[in-house]
């Protein structure tokens, strides 16, 4: 019965992607399946490769103990609900009301007199997309991280250059889901239907609000989103340099610390994997010809049952058993050596992050509180101003 539930949901996910083609090279469209992204290549650091075909010995930190009550991501205890949660979780302590940066000022009240209905307009669009697609929330949240981590939170990820030399067409972003882009487009359209708001709200701010709503409507925390961003004037594929799924914690932290993010931010933001699934492209090198030592043997066998040895990029693996709910089940999986990606597993085999994983696995509220803090910090990266940015009329191209 569990296997049947999984098969039905996998079929639904693949069908949803097929019905929502994105013709600009993402995995929901024409280009992603034939262009494995950069993460499929060996890691860029001096430690032993994490995703090679020989099983590396576990680090000295020891073997994790199984957390009670968690079940494998590949066999949900029941078919996950395919509609948004009825109401968001209680609100953690809100972010500061005003954040002054080198490039200007962000405030939750930025649009109070410009577009007073902004939040309800965006939330309505996100809710509608989530009702029609079980992967819309996960896809929308991913977009925000991928955008902010490149040149800052400036909606540069949405730009489509005529020659395809944009962030969307970089190898690292080829597997972003079409449903995320469609959610942002729906939110932008909803905002522009209000004459008071039309073309006055940045695409970057819409992305930030949509990411928050995707989390909250999936049963996760909600928070006050700082607003007042400007959009990028352009986008280049050469700017894309994202964390790799093959990297260990020291390598990941080199990237995160370069943006002023801490190991708490790394672990909390990784917890966003509680929503959605990943392509077998990022899994196969962990399980063939033999599974690596960071995977539970039984879980590795389950992964082999889902991902064929002759790689199928259109086959997906859920990160945890509550694929459409924002919760702390992801950390229970990581504790049990059932992290789907190597970068997930690595969090439990490094002394700097293991304790944080344990804390979040034991206390969902602790995870929610840190996730909110990390998302607010992430949302402050690379802010533009009127001198080096604009409010784009159409999110997919500069004015």
Q: How far apart are CA 320 and CA 317, in angstroms?
A: 9
25 among annotated binding-site residues: no
Residue with tokens 């949803």: 16
Phi, psi for 390 (deg, rounded to 5): -155, 170
* Helix, strand, coil distribution of the chain in percent, nearest 5: 45, 5, 50
273 among annotated binding-site residues: yes
152 among annotated binding-site residues: yes
Is-catalytic flag, 146?
Answer: yes
Q: How far apart are CA 162 and CA 164, in angstroms?
A: 6
231 among annotated binding-site residues: no
Cα separations (Å) of 319 from 23, 48, 56, 150, 276? 26, 24, 22, 24, 6
Answer for the pair 53, 289: CB distance below 8 angstroms, yes or no: yes
Greatest CA separation for the chain: 61
**Catalytic pick from 24, 45, 146, 169?**
146
Cα separations (Å) of 200 from 52, 194, 393? 49, 10, 8
264 among annotated binding-site residues: no
- Can you give the C-alpha Rg of the chain in angstroms? 20
327 among annotated binding-site residues: yes
DSSP 198-221: TTTS-HHHHHHHHHHHHHHTTT--
167 among annotated binding-site residues: yes
According to DSSP, the residues that pair with 100 across neighbouring strands are: 105
Burial letters for 5-39: b for 16+ Cβ neighbours within 10 Å, e otherwise? ebeebbeebeebbeebebebbbbbbebbeebbbbb
Residue with tokens 């010995």: 57
Sign of dihedral through CA atoms 79, 85, 90, 96?
A: positive
320 among annotated binding-site residues: yes
Binding site residue list: 147, 152, 154, 156, 167, 243, 273-274, 320, 327
Q: Which residues are catalytic?
A: 146
Binding site residue list for substrate: 243
Binding site residue list for heme b: 273
């Amino acid at each position: 019965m569990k296997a049947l539930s999984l098969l039905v949901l996998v079929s639904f996910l693949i069908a949803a992607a097929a019905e929502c083609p994105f013709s600009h090279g993402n995995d929901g469209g024409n280009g992603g399946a034939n262009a494995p992204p950069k993460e499929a290549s060996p890691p860029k650091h001096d430690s032993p490769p994490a995703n090679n075909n020989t099983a590396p010995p576990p680090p000295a930190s020891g073997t994790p103990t199984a957390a009670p009550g968690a079940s494998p991501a590949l066999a949900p205890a029941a078919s996950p609900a395919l509609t948004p949660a009825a109401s968001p979780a209680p609100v953690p302590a809100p972010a500061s009301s005003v954040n002054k940066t080198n490039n200007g000022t962000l405030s939750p009240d930025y649009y109070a007199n410009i577009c007073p209905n902004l939040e309800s307009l965006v939330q309505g669009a996100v809710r509608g997309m989530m009702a029609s697609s079980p992967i819309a929330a996960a896809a929308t949240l991913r977009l925000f991280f991928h955008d902010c981590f490149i040149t800052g939170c400036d909606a540069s990820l949405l730009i489509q250059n005529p020659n395809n030399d944009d962030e969307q067409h970089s190898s690292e972003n080829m597997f972003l889901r079409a449903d995320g882009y469609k959610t942002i487009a729906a939110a932008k359209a909803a905002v522009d239907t209000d004459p008071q708001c039309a073309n006055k709200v940045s695409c970057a701010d819409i992305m930030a609000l949509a990411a928050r709503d995707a989390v909250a409507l999936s049963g996760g925390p909600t928070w006050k989103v700082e607003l007042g961003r400007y959009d990028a004037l352009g986008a280049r594929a050469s700017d894309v340099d994202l964390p790799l799924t093959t990297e260990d914690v020291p390598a990941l932290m080199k990237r995160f610390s370069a943006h002023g993010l801490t190991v708490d931010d790394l672990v909390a933001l990784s917890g966003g994997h509680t929503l959605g699934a990943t392509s077998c492209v990022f899994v196969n090198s962990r399980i063939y010809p033999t599974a690596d030592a960071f995977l539970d043997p039984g879980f590795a066998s389950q992964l082999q049952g889902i991902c064929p040895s002759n790689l199928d990029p259109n086959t997906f693996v859920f990160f945890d058993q509550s694929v459409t709910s924002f919760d702390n089940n992801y950390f229970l999986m990581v504790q049990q050596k059932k992290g789907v990606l190597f970068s997930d597993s690595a969090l439990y085999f490094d002394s700097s992050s293991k304790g944080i994983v344990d804390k979040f696995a034991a206390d969902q509220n602790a995870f929610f509180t840190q996730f909110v803090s990390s998302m607010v910090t992430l949302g402050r990266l690379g802010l533009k101003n009127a001198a080096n940015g604009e409010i784009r009329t159409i999110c997919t191209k500069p004015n």
